[in-house]
Amino acid sequence: MTHADDLIAEYKNTGTLSALPAGHFIDGAFSQPAHNRTMESFDPGAGVPFARFTAGTKEDVDQAVASSRRAFDTVWRDIAPVERSRILQRTSALILENLDLLAVVETLDSGKALQEAMGDVRGAARAFEYYAGACDKLQGDSFPLGPDYVGYTIHEPVGVTAHIIPWNFPISTAARGFAPALAAGCTVVAKPAEQTPFTALLLADLLFKAGLPEGVCNVVTGTGAETGAPLTAHPDVDHITFTGSVQTGRAVMKAAAEDITRVVLELGGKSPVVVLGDCDREQALSGVLGAIYENAGQICSAGSRLVIEKSIHDDFVAELVARTKALKLGHGLGNPDVGPVNSSEHLGKIAGFLDRARAGGADIVTGGSVTEDPATGRGWFFEPTIVDAVSADNELAREEIFGPVLTVQVAEDADHALALANDCQYGLVAGIYTSDFGRAHQLARKIDAGQIYINEYFAGGIEVPFGGNKKSGFGREKGLEGLTSYCKTKSIAARIS
């Protein structure tokens, strides 16, 4: 397969990549859209377009859903689980064989550092490997009804599943939805974000090359209004997996309600990282830094609130500021510490938060401004930022900024830290740093979040269920719970005497 250095050289010489797919992926092939319209895809690190892709319409969505319905009814639901397993295993291997291509495309599309993109691609391969092992182990229960009866349950695939994929983790989110849906026997129609269309298309092609029958996985590209909305409102879709904003999530729920379509929503977050006075200082500093600045803070589960015990606040924040100032910004292909944000529109949103904070007298101890790639003077960058001693009612502590901005809240003690952590409309994840494991697990029980990390932020992997509480959504992805999200349980009871 093509080496990353060769792909980077091609991009630098031509401004694009020859391996980029064209058209939607429907019925096992890249196909022409109903209307021959295209859109530009931008390289956030340079702020310029590097490719065009298909701008789909409702007609394209209808074609994709009809294709997946045929494939579900006639082929995929009845394929032996062990054969589904083999296809997913081959997909995992093909993803790794195409690691460099997928990672470079992901970097150009999303802006993230190449090493982060490579980690995402490896994680996608691991997702298919994990669910490949679960295909033939999805089994029901039997019930003790006495000698005259037999009772048992079976898990059936829910049917055609729609996947709305966000721009911050395109291949990761696609894989964590595609793999369990396919493992359960469902078919897939995906709509990637218009900012990052390419890796979902490439993934669908790899699945077909691994042996997935035609129509089992279809991908339609375009805007949310013209392709996403028709997909989530389609009467022949049986389940929707959506990752994105609360506002769009509400619209998805309303659309799904019309046909009583099942929904899993992974929405926003304003996740606290609780750092207590007895923590391992180096462990906590590294964890807090990575929690907010990975992918330029554009992570639903980013540790965007540092809730720190007052006794260590001054020294800890001073060291955190020093380390933040040392971070190197740059184009994702150069493997910087912090890459660009995804779009000029999003850059303006982040800047608006800090402009309002500055006008209100906030203590911005580092960063706080729009900047650029120091090597080229181009791109959509925001300085890694820390705002100290923010009150609980400030929008910086309450609203999701979705950028490299850390809000610091000062707690008097562990009980106060718990109160601050829970004083939030979101409940996606939380981090805890302390050497007292009893207290760590007490806090983990009391913090209202779908996942808790103790002494390592982003701990775990595909094996660990992931999802939110409160306005962070509901339902779970990853783990075996992610598999049962794509199943409907049927109970059977029979008199045998």
Of residues 45, 455, 171, the one with CA closest to residue 290: 455
Question: β-strand 48-54 against 38-43: which pairing, if any?
Answer: antiparallel
Of residues 199, 188, 140, 85, the one with CA closest to residue 484: 140
Of residues 222, 272, 270, 219, the one with CA closest to residue 246: 270
What is the spatial distance between Cα 53 and Cα 50, in angstroms, rounded to a whole number?
A: 10
Considering 266, 294, 383, 477, which one is annotated as catalytic? Answer: 266
C-alpha distances out from residue 447 to 193, 331, 424, Å = 32, 37, 11
In 53-66, which positions are buried (b, 16+ CB within 10 angstroms) versus exposed (e)? Answer: bbbbbbebbbbbbb
What is the spatial distance between Cα 276 and Cα 306, in angstroms, rounded to a whole number?
A: 11
Does residue 279 carry a catalytic annotation? no
Question: β-strand 305-309 against 272-275: which pairing, if any?
Answer: parallel
Considering 300, 424, 477, 487, which one is annotated as catalytic? Answer: 300
Question: Based on the number of CB atoms within 10 Å of its own CB, is 137 exposed (0-12), middle (13-18) or buried (19 or more)?
Answer: exposed
- The terminus-to-terminus CA distance of the chain in angstroms comes to 63
What is the spatial distance between Cα 364 and Cα 349, in angstroms, rounded to a whole number?
A: 17
What is the spatial distance between Cα 238 and Cα 185, in angstroms, rounded to a whole number?
A: 13
* Cβ(139)–Cβ(81) below 8 Å: no
Q: What is the dihedral angle through the alpha carbons of 389, 271, 404, 287, rounded to the nearest 10 degrees?
A: 90
Put residue 389 in one of left, alpha, beta given phi > 0 → left and psi -120 to 50 → alpha: left
Does residue 383 carry a catalytic annotation? no
Residues designated catalytic: 266, 300
